[in-house]
Amino acid sequence: MIGCAVMALVPMFLLVGGVSYCSNQSAEKERIAAQEAAAQAKVDEERYQESVRTGQVCADGPNDAVTALELNVQRRLKDPGSYHHLGTVIRPAENGRGYDALMRYRSRNSFGGYVTGTVAAKLYLAERNVCEVASFDVID
C-alpha cells in the first residue's frame, strides 16, 4: 500500500518540479530581455545626445522627412517641386546657442534652367527636440 502511494506521488512531484523549472526559465528569459532592452535604450540615448551636440539632429529630418530648413527654402522657390537637396553642413554656434548651417540645393529658375543656391541659417532645438529655423539668408 505504501508502495502504491509512493508510486502515485512520484509523477506528481515530477509534474510540479517540471512546471517550476519552466516557470524559472521563463522568468530568466524575461529578465535578460529587459536588461538587453535597457542597454539598447542607453545606447540609443547616447547616440541621440551626440547628434544634438554635433548638430546632426538638425541635418536629418525625422524618419527621413524634409527638415524645417528645407521647407523654408522650398517656400521661397518659383518651382518648389524642382528642389533637390545637395548637402548641409551644421556645426554648433560659437555662442553656444543653437547651430549654424550652410545648405546647398538645386532648383529650376524662371527660365526653366537649373541653378544652384546656398542658404546660411541659424537653427535651434525647440520643444520636443524638433529643429527649427531661427533665421536664414539665401546666398546667390
pTM for the whole structure: 0.58
Which residues face 101 on adjacent strands? Answer: 90, 121
Binning pLDDT at 50, 70 and 90, where does residue 7 land?
low
Of the candidates 69, 72, 71, the one whose C-alpha atom is nearest the C-alpha of residue 98 is 69
Task: Give the tens place of pLDDT for each residue, 28-74.
Answer: 788 888 889 889 888 888 887 787 777 777 766 655 567 788 888 88
Cell of 34: 529587459
